[in-house]
Amino acid sequence: MKKVLVLLMVLTMVVSIVGCAKDEVSTDTTGTTTDANDTADTTADPKDTNDEPATHVFMFKSTGNLFGDLMYQGFEEAVTSMGGIAEYISPAETTAAAQVSLVEELINQGVASITISANDADAFNAISKLAEENGVLLLSADSAINSDIRTSHTIPTTIDRVGRHLVYAAIMILAEEPYVEGMDMEAKTNEILAADTFAGDPVKVGILSATTTSPVQNQWIASMEAELKLLSEKYPGNIGDANEGSDDSMLDIKYGNDDPQDSVTQANAFISEDAIDVIVAPTTVGMFAAGQQLQNNTDSDIKLTGLGLPSEMANFMPTSSANEFEAVCPYMMLWNVIDLGAVAGAAAVSAVEGTYDGTVGSSFTYNDIEYTAIEDPDSEGSVIVVGDPYVFFQGNMAEWKDTL
Ligand code: RAM
């Protein structure tokens, strides 16, 4: 039923694709190609040889996550190029408690700054006093710590843009609408729904997330919930409620804890329940696990999109427009993770040097680009936004799968 309607939609859309406005999610990201496995560089050549070079730590949610490794690749490159020493220290398990105890150790060692991708925003509040007493700056990137205790927070792109575009990708994929570079996904989604494509078989969306407390995933999910609700009010009968137990959310959310095994278990639960049409995984760990499980369960019609790394997702994605919708994940989004880490590293060094203080309007320069802190729409604090999300699809995967 859905397939027939979809075919009709595709035919009626062909003309309009050509005229689509440039979409905000399609702008360029550029990759660097340094070694992701590099460990801390203690042989940095400080610009000012009179001073001891400062040590800047990057702490990801846990070890063993390629996303964190790629962020550190950029972080290290920025910090060392600015004369500092970079270190990569993360806990083995994805918990805030494990991060906090490492932060305490690092403060006692006297590092200059710690940039955290947090498992829980508020878990660091208590330790922030010790950091302040010892002159250690706490910053965050990717997944935020509380705005009251951070000097600066760096995100790849605004939360709302990511959340909304994940919803658009899910709906477009179920309508078998090909992704075309530069297209306006919001307009296309509205066209699909305005044509009542899913009347009689409304779209049900499942989320495979990280931990229940992960700040950034919870923000993206909140934005998806809001967009889905809006679309369901605008186009009655096209969006189904995958979570009848809640008035606020139409999403069926499962948590894989950014742990490969837990994520596989939750992906399999979606497959065996067979109650949703598409899994949206706003975590690279969840994406990879869902990709594997859907690939192994050829009987399942469930589709996949979300935030994935091209190198991890290449096997589950199409290689040409001819097989775009045969693949488990026709297209997905992310950003240049290496750049995200680099800008976060430059923020840390600039903050420690005193040339940037993280307040709204303060700025620093990295690689000839000036980054200015703006008001964070998602907290009381400020935020540095690196760029736009980027859609990975059959037309550009070959270019990216060896870099990110
Ligand atoms: C995982 C982590 C990270 C998130 C990406 C998209 O690697 O949860 O915090 O930003 O996915």
Side-chain-side CA neighbours of residue 177 (13 Å)? 30
Atom 4 of ligand 1: nearest residue by CA position:
283
Cβ of 61 closer than 6 Å to ligand 1, yes or no, is yes
Residue 343 in this model has a pLDDT that exceeds 80: yes
Give the pLDDT confidence of 100-110 residue by residue, as tens digits. 999 999 999 99
Task: Give the per-residue pLDDT at 246.
Answer: 85
Angle at 186 between CA 279 and CA 342, to 5 degrees: 75
Considering only CA atoms, which of 311, 310, 312, 256 is closest in space to residue 279? 256
**Cα–Cα distance measured from residue 3 to residue 115, given in angstroms and rounded to the nearest whole number:** 47
CB 375, CB 300: distance < 8 Å? no
CA 133 to chain CA centroid, Å, is 33
Query: For residues 141 and 46, which has the higher predicted lDDT (pLDDT)?
Result: 141
Average pLDDT of span 69-92: 98
CB 154, CB 386: distance < 8 Å? yes
Helices (H) and strands (E) in the chain, counts: 12, 15
Mean pLDDT of the chain: 89
Give the pLDDT confidence of 101-136 residue by residue, as tens digits. 999 999 999 999 999 999 999 999 999 999 999 999
Q: b or e along 310-332 (b: 16 or more beta carbons within 10 Å of the residue's beta carbon)?
A: bbbbbebbbeeeeebbebbbbbb
How many CB atoms within 10 Å of residue 91?
A: 20
Query: For residues 8 and 60, which has the higher predicted lDDT (pLDDT)?
Result: 60
Cβ of 283 closer than 6 Å to ligand 1, yes or no, is yes
**Cα–Cα distance measured from residue 38 to residue 271, given in angstroms and rounded to the nearest whole number:** 38
Cβ of 309 closer than 6 Å to ligand 1, yes or no, is no
Considering only CA atoms, which of 254, 227, 247, 248 is closest in space to residue 239? 227
**Cα–Cα distance measured from residue 313 to residue 31, given in angstroms and rounded to the nearest whole number:** 18
Atom 10 of ligand 1: nearest residue by CA position:
142
Residue 204 in this model has a pLDDT that exceeds 70: yes
% of residues, the chain, pLDDT over 70: 87
Burial (CB count <10 Å: 0-12, 13-18, 19+), residue 219: buried
What distances in angstroms separate CA 243 from CA 118, 240, 322, 363, one per listed residue? 27, 9, 34, 43
Atom 2 of ligand 1: nearest residue by CA position:
283
Q: Bridge-partner residues for 372, per DSSP?
A: 363
Task: Give the per-residue pLDDT at 50.
Answer: 52
Cβ of 113 closer than 6 Å to ligand 1, yes or no, is no
Average pLDDT of span 27-48: 35
Atom 8 of ligand 1: nearest residue by CA position:
283
Predicted confidence band at 245 (pLDDT cuts at 50, 70, 90)?
A: confident
Task: Give the per-residue pLDDT at 248.
Answer: 87
**Cα–Cα distance measured from residue 245 to residue 227, given in angstroms and rounded to the nearest whole number:** 19
CB 74, CB 345: distance < 8 Å? yes
Cβ of 288 closer than 6 Å to ligand 1, yes or no, is no
Atom 3 of ligand 1: nearest residue by CA position:
283
Atom of ligand 1 nearest to the CA of 210: 8
Interval between CA 363 and ligand 1 midpoint (Å): 26
CB 317, CB 397: distance < 8 Å? yes
Atom of ligand 1 nearest to the CA of 66: 7
CA 17 to chain CA centroid, Å, is 27
Average pLDDT of span 348-377: 98
Instruction: Give residue for tokens 């490159």.
Output: 77
How many CB atoms within 10 Å of residue 238?
A: 21
**Cα–Cα distance measured from residue 314 to residue 244, given in angstroms and rounded to the nearest whole number:** 34
Task: Give the per-residue pLDDT at 25.
Answer: 43
Cβ of 204 closer than 6 Å to ligand 1, yes or no, is no
Ligand 1 pocket test target in 60, 208, 217 with most atoms within 8 Å of CB: 217
Predicted confidence band at 388 (pLDDT cuts at 50, 70, 90)?
A: confident
Q: Which domains does the chain have, with CATH numbers?
A: 2-156+336-387 (3.40.50.2300), 159-334 (3.40.50.2300)
Atom 5 of ligand 1: nearest residue by CA position:
283
pTM, entire model: 0.87
Atom 6 of ligand 1: nearest residue by CA position:
283
Interval between CA 320 and ligand 1 midpoint (Å): 27
Average pLDDT of span 315-326: 96
Residue 219 in this model has a pLDDT that exceeds 80: yes
Cβ of 142 closer than 6 Å to ligand 1, yes or no, is yes
Interval between CA 63 and ligand 1 midpoint (Å): 12
Instruction: Give residue for tokens 């990057």.
Output: 58
Cβ of 69 closer than 6 Å to ligand 1, yes or no, is no
Q: What does the block give as tokens for 22?
A: 């440039």
Interval between CA 162 and ligand 1 midpoint (Å): 13
Atom of ligand 1 nearest to the CA of 283: 11
Q: What is the DSSP letter of 304?
A: E
Considering only CA atoms, which of 183, 193, 187, 179 is closest in space to residue 9? 193
Cβ of 65 closer than 6 Å to ligand 1, yes or no, is yes
CB 351, CB 113: distance < 8 Å? yes
Lowest mean pLDDT, pick from 34-43, 350-359, 395-404: 34-43
CB 285, CB 260: distance < 8 Å? yes
Q: What is the DSSP letter of 395?
A: T
Cβ of 392 closer than 6 Å to ligand 1, yes or no, is no
Query: For residues 184 and 9, which has the higher predicted lDDT (pLDDT)?
Result: 184
Instruction: Give residue for tokens 């994929």.
Output: 173
